[in-house]
Amino acid sequence: MSSVLGVSVGAGTVRLARPQHGGPHGFVPPYTFEVQTLAMPEQRAEEAAADAIAAMLAAAPEVGATTITFRSDPQARAIRAAMARRQLTNYQLVPEAVAAVHFAHATTDMREVSTLAVYDLGSSGLTVSVVNARTSDVYQCERISDISGDYLDSLVREQQIASGRIAHPADPAGLAALDALCRAAKEQLSNSNAVAMPSEQGLVLLTQENFEALMMLAIESSARMTRDAIIRSQHPVQAVLVLGGGARIPLIARVLERTIGVPVIVPAEPETALARGAALLARPAQVPQAPAAPTILPLDDEADVTPAWLTAPARRRPLAALTSRSGQNRREVSAAALTVSSLVVVAGIGLGLGYGPEVLERGNSTDGSQAVPATTSPRPTQAAPTSAAPTSEAVHATVAAPPVRQLDNEPTTSAPPSQGPNTFTVVPGLPPVVLPTLPPVVLPGFPPAGQ
């Protein structure tokens, strides 16, 4: 069964979390994780994280996916470079706020929370993020270094040295050991009212009242910074999620709730919440299966090979529209051609009868009267005009129906045929009908008629 790996990269700590029972899909809340914490200098955090991931993948080949959180874009680039140098590719990077919101959904009832503020107090600084609790969109993210876990530890150390119970360490190693002792005493105050821890330099004695007096100003300042970041995001929040090692201080939750006025969520083991949220976001890569071979159907004359998504009306509609349009275009072209041909025939007949020049001359007149050039001699086949020039209406009438012109040698009326033996009048008032005279028919072997 494949597993997943979540990694959070802090300033001086790298945490690796593996869900039990094969991954986030194989168990139900409360989730259980196998967490590994590695401490290293801040300058090598990204390199140490890549080394730890490579060692984990070599020891556990069943890990199918890795998710790494990052705080800023420069840190994300440094993580990518470190992973590339080790030729590690099967991983994804997510912002710390996204992993925090996902972890909150997995461990807390978030149905009434649409916008969440994440207060992450680590050893090197405070990160405040305003995130959409449903889409994981980050509205605002600010990093504050004025308050940090190291700064709070230094306040406890200086207070112990100032009280005279602890001697000041002589070397940096002793100073680091005293800081670790003060940090442990600070964390134990979350479950008790007083802590007494011996050391080589003396006894570290810390009470809840003294500790809150030391931390109050710094914590109230961080709460005001968180409120200002929420105001700048222009998205009101319904809850505040407190993460990091500083979340173990009970005073922080009380001050945040009093300053912002919304519920404060503090998960168990808040310093590992980002690594566990990253593990919940990791998804093993799915190997795509080869697509099934398409079924080949035999083609025949009656088979319809049109795709099923192309319906019958959709197939016919463009073709019918195209046919109707083409037929209409052909009819329009045919009518236009017939009209032009008719005009050409009429013009040819008019020119053949000798009316073309007159029509052209009349059409060129601008005042509506007939213009006859002085040098034009009368046509031998036309009679001399006996009336005045026609008006424009007469010109149009002439063009529409030209008068019948007769030659001088043609008779005006035809004489009726003279009555003869073969002339018959069929209808009174109409010309008689003349039947032709047929020659006699002579049959062979018979004498002609009259002999």
pLDDT of residue 437: 62
Q: Is the pLDDT of residue 242 over 80?
A: yes
The answer to which of 228-242, 364-378, 416-430 has the lowest mean pLDDT is: 364-378
**90-116 mean pLDDT:** 93
* 424 pLDDT tier (thresholds 50, 70, 90): low
Q: Which is more confidently placed, 391 or 102?
A: 102
Q: Are 75 and 257 in contact (CB under 8 A)?
A: no
Q: Are 24 and 136 in contact (CB under 8 A)?
A: no
- Tokens 């990160």 — which residue? 127
**137-162 mean pLDDT:** 90
The answer to which of 155-169, 234-248, 323-337 has the lowest mean pLDDT is: 323-337
pLDDT of residue 164: 84
The beta-strand segments (E) located in 326-367 are none
The answer to which of 21-35, 93-107, 197-211 has the lowest mean pLDDT is: 21-35
Which of 112-121, 361-370, 438-447 has maximum average pLDDT?
A: 112-121
Q: Which is more confidently placed, 47 or 415?
A: 47
Long-range contact set of residues 396-404: C-beta below 8 Å, sequence gap at least 24: 398/355, 398/358, 398/359, 398/362, 399/359, 399/362, 402/350, 402/353, 402/355
Q: Which fold has domain 1-107+271-285?
A: Nucleotidyltransferase; domain 5 (3.30.420)
Q: How many whole angstroms separate alpha carbon 145 and alpha carbon 126?
A: 6
